[in-house]
Amino acid sequence: MTDTTPEARAPLPRTAAVIPAAGSGVRLGPGAPKALRPLGGTPMLVHAAHAMARARAVVLVVVVAPAAETEAVRSLLDEHPPPPGVDQVVVAGGATRQESVRLGLDALPEDIEAVLVHDAARPLVPVDTVDAVAAAVHAGAPAVVPALPVTDTVKRIAAPTADGAPEPVVATPDRSLLRAVQTPQGFDRATLVKAHDRLVDDAEAAVTDDAGLVERLGVPVVLVPGHEEAFKVTRPLDLVLAEAVLARRRLNDGF
Ligand SMILES: Nc1ccn([C@@H]2O[C@H](COP(=O)(O)OP(=O)(O)OP(=O)(O)O)[C@@H](O)[C@H]2O)c(=O)n1
Ligand SMILES: C[C@](O)(CO)[C@H](O)COP(=O)(O)O
């Protein structure tokens, strides 16, 4: 079992988790903002925040909430506090995931050296995966991403077509060289802040994860094994799967 005492955290670089949770969840269908929808009776973001707070190195969790729900999220997290030795703050998010992450980074105190960025929409990430990402950053990698091999064959098209019209295929990439990436993505703090600063300067950027921003700086990014249970709740079927995984955990672990 992970030791979460303040003593056990002391030798590790001070590490914060930034949890972008400000999305609306359009692909999940109508309802409350996705991070606030229940999973096993508890809002998804509470699961995500606890997964990060239980990691060995994490001393601070910054939750980036939907702007209109900031106070409600503060109250919610007050009802579900982190373990001793971990602080938790809530800030208002922005219009895009990148903007929300940036607002989370802006809230970090100066003494934070490493940052784990984790989607609230990945509520069931195992703590061992979080620890493995953090350990690789602490060992000196500036950017670390959990990833899994791709199981479907992937086709490349020239451009999406509208209304389900047939899409001509232009290539079939070698699947053995493809990886599906997850979160938490871990970074040396200065590297991540520089990558986000560069994005602000570059209006053309269409990057869907934080490591992608770091790649644009020419800084090396490495992959470590991800975990099947770190999947992202994106569409309704993902929520069905998440409920099943959580129910199995509760049965096995008795929590
Ligand atoms: N303006 C935004 C958009 C997204 N996110 C967060 O980024 C993570 C990954 O985004 P995604 O799964 O795409 O969530 P949504 O944007 O809510 O989903 P959708 O695209 O279906 O609306 C989520 O934890 C989401 O809350 C955020 O903090 N701020
Ligand atoms: C960051 C991410 O979860 C890595 O797979 C993903 O890129 C987020 O994408 P989304 O379109 O915002 O869900």
166 is a domain residue: no
Task: Name the closest-CA residue to atom 1, ligand 2.
Answer: 209
152 is a domain residue: no
Residue 190 neighbours by CB under 8 Å, 6+ apart: none
- Segments forming the whole domain that contains residue 72: 6-146+179-253
With b for 16 or more beta-carbon neighbours within 10 A and e for fewer, the 17-51 pattern comes to bbbbbbbebeebeeeebbbbbebbeebbbbbbbbb
Q: Structure tokens of 87?
A: 């602080």
13 is a domain residue: yes
245 is a domain residue: yes
Is the minimum distance from the CB of 25 to ligand 1 under 6 angstroms? yes
| CATH code for position 50 | 3.90.550.10
Q: Degrees (nearest 5) of the Cα angle 187, 204, 146?
A: 25
Tell me the C-alpha distance between 208 and 217, whole Å. Answer: 15
Q: Degrees (nearest 5) of the Cα angle 52, 82, 143?
A: 20
Is the minimum distance from the CB of 19 to ligand 1 under 6 angstroms? no
Bridge-partner residues for 61, per DSSP? 17, 88
Q: Ligand 2 site: residues with CB under 6 angstroms?
A: 97, 119, 181-183, 208-209, 232, 234
161 is a domain residue: no
Query: Which ligand 2 atom is the nearest neighbour of the CA of 209?
Result: 1
Instruction: Examine residue 184 and say whether the peptide bond preceding it is cis (omega within 30 degrees of 0).
Output: yes
10 is a domain residue: yes
103 is a domain residue: yes
d(CA 8, ligand 2 centre) in Å: 32
| Rg for the chain, CA atoms, rounded | 18
Tell me the C-alpha distance between 181 and 67, whole Å. Answer: 27
Query: Which ligand 1 atom is the nearest neighbour of the CA of 121?
Result: 24
Mutate-to-test residue for ligand 2 from 24, 231, 232, highest number of ligand atoms within 8 A of CB: 232
Question: What's the pTM?
Answer: 0.94
* Number of independent structural domains in the chain: 1
Is the minimum distance from the CB of 120 to ligand 1 under 6 angstroms? yes
Is the minimum distance from the CB of 139 to ligand 1 under 6 angstroms? no
Is the minimum distance from the CB of 242 to ligand 1 under 6 angstroms? no
d(CA 23, ligand 1 centre) in Å: 4
11 is a domain residue: yes
pLDDT tens per residue across all 255 residues of the chain: 555 555 454 478 999 999 999 999 999 999 999 999 999 999 999 999 999 999 999 999 999 999 999 999 999 999 999 999 999 999 999 999 999 999 999 999 999 999 999 999 999 999 999 999 999 999 999 999 999 999 999 999 999 998 889 999 999 999 999 999 999 999 999 999 999 998 766 655 578 999 999 999 999 999 999 999 999 999 999 999 999 999 999 998 865
